[in-house]
Amino acid sequence: DIQMSQSPSSLSASVGERVTITCRASQSITRDLNWYQQKPGKAPKLLIYGPSILQSGVPSRFSGTASGTDFTLTISSLQPEDFATYYCQQTYDMPWTFGQGTKVDLK
Amino acid sequence: EVQLAESGGGLVKPGGSLRLSCVGSRFTFSNAWMSWVRQAPGKGLEWVGLIKSNSDGGTADYAAPVQGRFTISRDDSKNILFLQMKSLRTEDTAVYFCATAALFCDGGGCYWRYFDTWGQGTPVTVSS
């Protein structure tokens, strides 16, 4: 199975800060990498796929990049509504695995 | 707006069975690859399995922890996705989400799958 190592597992940040979350795949997954945001008690929400294509309606402060097996989600200026848990997911090969999540909370 | 709605969750004893349903609306359900994802209390997301559209073969794939115990099926005439769960264990306790596995295509071809629509989830508790 492809393992997705996400880091950090949690971070504290202030409104307006730039936040970066990294996901590393255990093998090549080409560009089959997605990012989701989940708030407590809610279903996950797709943010980015492909892994740099912004889902419709997602603010442009979110962006994604890829370099080999390393993938990055960046929030350019953290907003109050961005405090949540973020997950990466590979859909290159079954089983489609998720990273362990990164919880972003208020510093 | 595309919608998914799960139902069927509840409390079941270890070794028991449960069937979850997910009704889709406002999209062509028969063309969709559909998936189940679960989340144990306080834990991360775990992919459970997927069923392809019948036009793509209609086959299902499963995560190792549920292989042989869970079965995913679909009724395209009623726009319903099912998750039949047997031999349930305490570690199967989770909120179960259904999701559509959309495919990105452009003029050059089709490339990536991603979960673009999720249901609200249905809780399953396995406990004696």
pLDDT at B33 (0 to 100): 97
pLDDT at A14 (0 to 100): 96
In chain A, DSSP finds a helix count (H) and a strand count (E) of: 0, 10
Apex A87 CA angle, A42 and A3, nearest 5: 135
Query: How high does pLDDT run on average in chain B?
Result: 97
B18-37 per-position pLDDT tens digit? 999 999 999 999 999 999 99
B81, B21 contact by CB (below 8 A): yes
Using CA atoms, how far residue A38 sits from A1, A48, B14, B51, in Å, is: 24, 13, 29, 24
CA–CA min distance A18, chain B (Å): 24
Sequential DSSP letters for B85-96: E-S--GGG-EEE
B98, B22 contact by CB (below 8 A): yes
Which residues 39-98 on chain B approach chain A with CB closer than 8 angstroms?
44-47, 50, 61-64, 97
Q: Tokens 């709605």 identify what position?
A: B5
B105-115 per-position pLDDT tens digit? 888 888 899 99
* Residues of chain A with C-beta less than 8 angstroms from the C-beta of B114: 34, 46, 49-50, 89, 91
* Residues of chain B with C-beta less than 8 angstroms from the C-beta of A101: 44-45
Average pLDDT of the residues in B96-125: 95
pLDDT at A86 (0 to 100): 98
A47-100 per-position pLDDT tens digit? 999 999 999 999 999 999 999 999 999 999 999 999 999 999 999 999 999 999
Q: How confident is the model at residue A13 (pLDDT cuts 50, 70, 90)?
A: very high
pLDDT at B100 (0 to 100): 97
pLDDT at A104 (0 to 100): 98
pLDDT at B80 (0 to 100): 98
pLDDT at A37 (0 to 100): 98
Q: What are phi and psi of B117, to 5 degrees?
A: -135, 135
Q: Per the CB < 8 Å rule, is A50 touching B114? A: yes
Percent of chain B past pLDDT 70, that is, above it, reads: 100
